[in-house]
Amino acid sequence: MNALAATNRNFMKAARILGLDSKIEKSLLIPFREIKVECTIPKDDGTLVSYVGFRVQHDNARGPMKGGIRYHPEVDPDEVNALAQLMTWKTAVADIPYGGAKGGIGCSPKDLSTSELERLTRVFTQKIHDLIGVNADVPAPDMGTNAQTMAWILDEYSKFHGYSPAVVTGKPIGGRNRRGVVYATEALLAEHGKSIKGLTFAIQGFGNVGSWAAKLIHERGGKVVAVSDITGAVKNPNGINILDLLQHKDATGKLADFSGADAMDPNDLLTHDCDVLIPCALGGVLNRENAGDVKAKFIIEAANHPTDPEADEILSKKGVTILPDIYANAGGVTVSYFEWVQNIQGFMWDEEKVNQELKRYMTKAFHNIKGLCKSHNCDLRMGAFTLGVNRVARLLF
């Protein structure tokens, strides 16, 4: 099942639980605006190459639309549409005043030079600058993009509209705070009378989100027993020294040949023996083929849509607790909101205040989700979806 079908299915289940009118259901499913643009740039060798860029603006009932821009070969309208819709529910679950959007360009960033990426980003911004803005749609980094990408967008946008630092978040000075996944994990484990210390963790994906999660879990006394990314996978039943692994990856660019752990098949990571599994990479990695072999008791969805609905049902029957993506990875957009607020006010917070506020938002959201789980007798995913959908739908009545 593709990401859009799965997201629509979860939305429809939540709509039925809430008893929404069919007209409101339809209104909530149809995006506010879909944008598709052609981006042609000269390559470094002088040849011209064209890419297709997308921006889906899903809903603005609760505030400016918010969502990342990803550079990936598999970016397509259905995926961008699904992720834009997820952002609408995610921002509502976190209770921050945004709607949902998502964008991307179908390209392979590793095959482009820095100057080619800059030209592509600037052309994309030229095509959409009238449709984004501080109070309209605020992009952020996503897969294949980073703080530098946001700086290029800000600079290009400012040529048309004047200096507007709040038009994007995840910029070089602010960066992205990745503690949200760990705060969400702590909230879930506390509900079960557990803490990170002493538990074993397997982490799929060792990029921005995965490496931060691993580092913070390691600092809190958790034992990371397996890690994978696109370069390979490593395991150590006694726990991997994450700081050493980070140094190794910085030096070599890969996980392989790390002396503090044994190599393993990356495909085995999701079914590795651990207490907590954290998928931090692509969507759809947990499916009906592998869900039955998952050994973790808890799954923290740090990636977007890592669990197919079929896998959801299998894991639920096994008694596995899944912390859904629209809550588990909402820390990124919450900190983006803090950055946006600071840019608008021209008043900077220190890191301690950012962390303190993030923990407060993540903890409060978890308790709100649990409240709806009890009211509607449903799992955490439906608790989160009903919370998010209801907060948007009630503005349409």
How far apart CA 261 and CA 233 sit, in angstroms, is 9
The reply, when asked if residue 108 is annotated as ligand binding, is no
SS3 206: coil
Span between the terminal Cα atoms of the chain, in Å:
32
**Angle in degrees, 0-180, between the axes of helices 242-252 and 208-219, rounded to the nearest 10:** 150
The reply, when asked if residue 66 is annotated as ligand binding, is yes
Strand partners, 54: 36, 104
SS3 203: strand
Residue for token digits 């997308």?
Answer: 54
Residue for token digits 């947990």?
Answer: 286
The reply, when asked if residue 336 is annotated as ligand binding, is yes
Dihedral, CA atoms, 19, 20, 21, 26, nearest 10 degrees? -140
The reply, when asked if residue 113 is annotated as ligand binding, is no
List the alpha helices (DSSP H) in 144-229.
147-161, 180-191, 208-219
Closest CA to 174 of 192, 153, 150, 194: 150
Residue for token digits 């799992």?
Answer: 379
φ, ψ for residue 274 (rounded to 5)? -160, 165
Instruction: Please list, in sequence order, all residues whose beta carbon lies within 8 angstroms of the beta carbon of residue 169, skipping any fewer than 6 positions away.
Output: 138, 139, 140, 150, 336, 337, 339, 340, 343
List the alpha helices (DSSP H) in 236-283.
242-252
Residue for token digits 């939305």?
Answer: 11
For residue 113, how many other CB atoms are within 10 A of its CB? 10
Instruction: Please list, in sequence order, all residues whose beta carbon lies within 8 angstroms of the beta carbon of residue 248, skipping any fewer than 6 positions away.
Output: 255, 257, 258, 259, 260
For residue 386, how many other CB atoms are within 10 A of its CB? 25
Indicate which residues carry an active-site annotation.
102
Q: Which residues are annotated as a binding site?
A: 66, 90, 208, 336
Q: Which residues are annotated as a binding site for NAD(+)?
A: 208
Q: Which residues are annotated as a binding site for substrate?
A: 66, 90, 336
